[in-house]
Structure 1
Amino acid sequence: MKIAPSKELISGIRAGLQALRENLVEPMGLSITAHDGKFGWGFYKYKALPGHPHPGNAGNGWSHPVNTPVLAAHAPRDWPKDGSFPRDVKCTLNDVKAFVQAVADGAALGRDYTLEVAWRKGSAPDMCVDGAVGILSDINILRGGAENYAYYPDSIDEVSLVSKNGEPVDTAKEELWKGKFRRLKDNEQISTNAYMQPPKVDNPIVVAGAWYVDSLPGGIVAELTDGKLVSFSISPLRAIDAATLKSYDGEHPRKQHGSPLPKPLYPFYGLEKNDESLSEILRLRVTPSEKAAFEAYAASLEPRQNVSDVLREFIRSKI
């Protein structure tokens, strides 16, 4: 049975991702859990974005959002009701991959991730076999080399092999487990640090703004300083250049449903925001009839524009 993310799931995840980015962290993990006919989700493993006052303050290279807690970054297992995949639905691994891709595109998460899927125990002998069907339990979307430690504790100090009465069982084996756990942690920190390192760009592309829009899943729309709209892929995080940009003929992102690209992410794409754009307010005194005539003129244009857009385009044409 095919599964598809609901609008509530995608809108909730996107709002949570936007809230975290606005609080100067980028999540490396997203967990989606099926439970009793409902679902829950939550971000975890946060890396600091440029401007974070205390990068790596949570240990192991992780950072807290600057304003904690960010409640939008997770949802309880019973939110909302009638979720995208009830626990008793059978599906294939390809169904899950399509589900996750739709979530990643709709929530502006990007496609540079690895996928870990947990199936209800005993639901299928091998879910990697073509045609195998199993009952879905948990999904983990992992980015930048992050790991999901399903069988490892949060700290090396918690690795301990003891008997029922609390006595050490095998200290040598315990040290081996600690060494394995330490290597996993070290490798994860190295890989996620590299993933979250903005590229060095001598001549960044200056833009008036950049946005995620629903009409372009998996893409970002940017406005160049001359007013031209262009687009490029969300992932991977990398410096873009003129050859990467594609012309965008759709409506301006401000007229669409979407969200702005948080400014701390601009360096990861080799972009620089033109802070001069829209920073000065030009106040004009006009008569009511003049105002009505100008608004009617703007509304008559195809595609329809607002007063600010018409005025900005006129000014830019004279520069």
Structure 2
Amino acid sequence: MEGVRALLLAIVFVVADLPWVLGFSLTAPAFLWSPQPYRSPHYNNKEFVDYRTISSKDLTKLVLSEGGWSNILCTKESLDENTDVAVVFVGRKLHSSDISSPKQSDPSLIDILKLSFTTSNFSMAFPYVAIDEQETLENSLIEGFEENCAQGLGLNRIAYLDSCSINGGNLEKLNSLHSVHDFLASRTSGKMDLVVLCSGRSEESGHTQSEGEVFSDIVDLLKQSGAKYTVLYTSRPYKTLQYPAHLALRFLADGTQSNASNNSTCDGVCQIKSSLLEGIFVAIVLLIILISGLCCMIGIDTPTRFETSQES
């Protein structure tokens, strides 16, 4: 019995590490929304979801083209009079699977994201953005916006919170949420500003709030300032290298809890997970059969064509 348990545990960790071996990337979600009427190719759809697995570079292109940010970031005169502040918030916790998981390390973050997404005039979701370990997400997004705006960024000001890591000049550094409030209050009418905020410890605050609390405070600041804003939430979780095994174990635990609650529904994400696991297990079985066959062939000692039998 102990041998069976050990074998099952080994299979779980092998399955968990297969995405790295097979080239699958760990992913995190991204959400784009605007409380005001919005100029976008998908303006007829209040909620638009792109289920493809995309890179951070692809995300910037889609935000500009499909999300309509090219109208507000790439021109000196904003083509969308309903927006004067674009906010990018980079989180450090959420993975793609956290959105549908019943167990949350930061439930307030999920709640504020769902509330903002569902009550906005326009919203887009990208559940699967591949995590790049080589570059900070906030820096990749800014560079992507600059590269994909033909005439460069047409922004009045670009500011970032000191918890972000961004390269480049002509950027205004903010030391706390109070500085963010002052920045929003000093905006110029008819001019477009971009603010990049990151979850983490700021120099002035000296302490770390939960990501949900920080993001909730930022949403409140935007509402109180009277700004006409649009928000892009993205995530680049910490400790991604330890996540595959944790993902497999939690996936099995979530499945057990779902069965216990007699939940028989399976949405698109559920079907993708199911198909992926089925494919992985089939690949494991075929690999075992192949290795067994090779071992059997190696173990068979047959005489060659020109070798005489020892019995003769």
Give the TM-score, by structure 1 length: 0.23
Q: Which structure is higher in RCO with an 8 Å CA cutoff and minimum separation 6?
A: 2
Structure with the larger strand share: 1
Question: What's the TM-score, normalizing by structure 2?
Answer: 0.23
Higher-Rg structure is 2
